[in-house]
Amino acid sequence: MSALVRFLTRKRAGGVAQRDVAVAGNRVAFGRAADNDAHLNDPRVAPYQAAVEARAAGIYVEALGGFEVTLNGAIVEQGWARIGNTIGVGPYDVKPFDPPAGQALAVTVELVRPMGDDLQKLVAGSRLGLDQTRLSRRGLSWVLSLIVLALFLVWPVAAFFNPGRTPDNDLTKNRGWRPDMMWNSGPISFAHQPVAQQCNRCHQVPFVMVRDEACTACHEAIQNHADPKKFRFAELTEDRCERCHKEHNGPAQITLRDQAFCAGCHGRFREKAPASALLAAADFRTDHPEFRPTVAIDPVARRFARVSLAAAPRPKENSGLIFPHDKHLRPSGVRGPEKVETLDCGSCHVPAPGGMLMAPVAMEVHCQRCHELAFEPLSRGRRLQHGNVESVLRTIREYYADVALRGGFPDPTAPPVVRRRPLDKPPTRAEEREALAWAEGRAQQAIEFVFTSKAVCGTCHQIASAGSGAERRFGVVTPQVAERWLPKGLFRHSAHSTETCQRCHALDVTDPARFQERVKEAVPPFAEAMQAVGGIEPVVTALRAAAAALKDAPWSQAALDAAIDVALVVATEDLPQAPGMARARRAAEDVVGAIWSNDSSDILLPGIASCRQCHSGDSGFEWSRPNNRLASDCVTCHYFHTPDESPMRAPPAAAAGPKVPGQYKSGGAAKDTSIKATQSGIRNPPRP
């Protein structure tokens, strides 16, 4: 069995061409796919669209895959056709005709609706795909990149070369926004914000790193770290400023704080710089020498030395001043001009402006209310000027000459002319001579008294004298009191205002051994005095226990502490009045007051261990330090640019950049001109 498919093609001139295809079997499949029996090559036809089959009952028409087939114009899914009917498969008409002999089925196939203008028109009127729209990747790319280049590259560069942009020194002028600010990689540091509108003030030459001249234009006197003649290290003289001072990281400081940078040299300082007297240091907590304050050792010759607080025995200073702290800090107070006054540290020591140092103690302000410098018991209001030996001598001589000539001086040992009533007849020449001779004698006595007794100058000062008798000359050794004990360190008292003075400066901190000795001396008299006091049994009992414990050598810290606790109660609390109480209280004050130095030569500075209670080093890794300690790098206490060193960079040529007159002359941190620190550690006196 086979079937015949006859393809008909109508010719333009009329007439029909036909092409017969024989198909095996009695079924003909229609579709665009090439393996169909009737291959219909038209996009409107589905790959497998229809089948026509000769069956016993007739010609069976079937739509395949849900595609459309019509039978005489009606859409069918399947149906029966007869000879002469029209089966529509897409644009093709399929018509069964009487099969020739031997064939089961015969159909003609004719393209009746050629693909024509409809499709073309539809395609032409449509835009299929983004590539047919006005969007263009190439165009967009050009536009965007040119805009970016113009705005963010060309414009700022043009602004840089604008000749009107020479930086000037009027930092108060608001220059407004500049295109090159779009390049600003981050906020300017706090101190440099006044020049933030002038990029080219620092960035002077394109593609050249910021030059040191840009810095020294303002910081013209910034000092060397060390004397470049003695210490020739490239990292001290050749690195650019910018190595340590990086801008555009926000309003914080722009100082290099890296401990490793300092430790690189100072950690192995003996080999790195054998010429220096400094000791090696690499980390405040683990590798830093004990403090070595600069102290006076001879106030007459004005000699100073750096002494280590670690030295044994503990070093002393000799400033020429005599001042026992313990006498002035007694809990029960000191005798003031009008009443008993209780003093504390702040009565004399007040912070200097700026909070770094303590202000100097001044005789006129802090001492003279009590230590009045009177010299004549019959005339207590008459006082000497402090700090001027010539004035003292003149004042005494004038005073006695005056009273001798005026008369009325109530001293029974004086000659009559001096004692006469002031309104009597004037003295004769001979009497005047006698009076003045007496006056000179009295003045000489007074001068001897003022300088040599412990009552006036000698209370606080060392006295120097030369000659003897009437020729004897006196002088007061100028005390060399330190304003800064540690001139190479920067200690801010104001930053430690939450601490008590005692925490660092009491004797039990600065010299624990001597503190213990003093307590041991003071406790037995206290215990004895307490024995005599009645009515405060619990205190006495406690004290007796402490005293008993103290008798057993070696004295234990616990026993000392117990004694101090009791003494504190007796010295400071309002205990009931009892016989012997006053004496006991004085003895208790001796115990308690042992924390205050009784010797002017004590150096009342804490050792590094005190600082280390709160401060650690800062290696940069948090886990390397106890986490309840402050991370304190070298720059916390030390400066890099050393005051009084020579300028680090040669002053810039006049044309190199703008100068800001009168600004930043000193550069480095907190320079104190009263202190002359030198490499040897010898320091000139702070005041003449």
Residue 166 has which token pair? 């020479």
Residues 462-491 that bind other proteins (CB under 8 A): none
Q: Which is nearer to other proteins, 161 or 468 (CB)?
A: 161
The nearer residue to other proteins, 133 or 413, going by C-beta atoms, is: 133
Q: Does residue 132 belong to the site contacting other proteins (CB under 8 A)?
A: yes
Among 6, 160, 196, 352, binds other proteins (CB under 8 A): 160
Question: In angstroms, how far is CA 502 from the centroid of its own chain?
Answer: 27
Stretch that binds other proteins, among 43-51, 229-237, 274-282, 645-653 (CB under 8 A): 43-51
Stretch that binds other proteins, among 39-47, 309-317, 525-533, 659-667 (CB under 8 A): 39-47
Q: What is the CA radius of gyration of the chain?
A: 54
Residues 620-639 that bind other proteins (CB under 8 A): 620
Q: With contact defined as beta carbons under 8 Å apart, do 153 and 160 qualify?
A: no
Minimum Å gap between C-beta 249 and other proteins is 4
Q: Does 162 bind other proteins (CB under 8 A)?
A: no
Quote the tokens at residue 618: 């800062």
d(C-alpha 678, C-alpha 350), whole Å:
28
**Chain residues 602-621 in contact with other proteins, contact rule CB under 8 A:** 620
Query: Is residue 41 near other proteins by the rule CB under 8 A?
Result: no
DSSP-derived letter for residue 552 is S
According to CB under 8 A, which one of 6, 39, 58, 68 is a site residue for other proteins? 68
Residues 155 and 485: their CA atoms lie apart, in Å, by 57
Task: Give the E-state strand segments of 359-472 in sequence order.
Answer: 463-466
Rule CB under 8 A: which of 177-196 touch other proteins? 180-187
Indicate the residue type of 170: D
Q: Binding to other proteins by residue 135, rule CB under 8 A?
A: yes
Which residues lie across from 107 on neighbouring strands? Answer: 5, 96
In whole angstroms, give the CA distance from residue 293 to residue 607. Answer: 10
| Residues of span 505-564 touching other proteins by CB under 8 A | none
Nearest approach in angstroms of CB 126 to other proteins is 4
641-676 in b/e form (b: 16+ CB < 10 A) is bbbebeebbeebeeeebbeeeeebeebbeebbeebe
Query: Among residue numbers 102 through 121, which ones bind other proteins (CB under 8 A)?
Result: 113, 115-116, 118-119, 121
CA dist 473 and 70 (Å) reads 146
Q: Toward other proteins, which CB reaches closer, 46 or 329?
A: 46
Which of the ranges 139-147, 219-227, 376-384, 397-405 carries the binding residues for other proteins, by CB under 8 A? 139-147
From candidates 11, 137, 335, 454, binder to other proteins by CB under 8 A = 137
Site string for other proteins, 72-91 (x = CB under 8 A): -xxx--------------xx
158 binds other proteins (CB under 8 A): no
CB of 182 to other proteins, least distance (A): 5
Strand locations in 307-424 (E): 334-335, 340-341
Among 1, 22, 144, 362, binds other proteins (CB under 8 A): 144
Q: Does 430 bind other proteins (CB under 8 A)?
A: no
Partner residues linked to 384 by β-bridges:
none
* DSSP track, 329-368: T-TT-EE-SSSEE---GGGT--BPTTSSSBPPP-IIIIIT
Q: How far is CA 524 from CA 343, 383, 541, 544, in A?
A: 26, 42, 14, 10
Q: How far apart are CA 96 and CA 93, in angstroms?
A: 10
Burial of residue 628 (CB within 10 Å: 0-12, 13-18, 19+) is exposed
* CB 157, min distance to other proteins, A: 7
Residue 136 vs 286, nearer CB to other proteins: 136
Q: Which of residues 205-264 bind other proteins (CB under 8 A)?
A: 206-210, 243-246, 248-250, 252, 254-258, 261
Structure tokens at 61: 């028409």
Any contact of residue 127 with other proteins (CB under 8 A)? Answer: yes
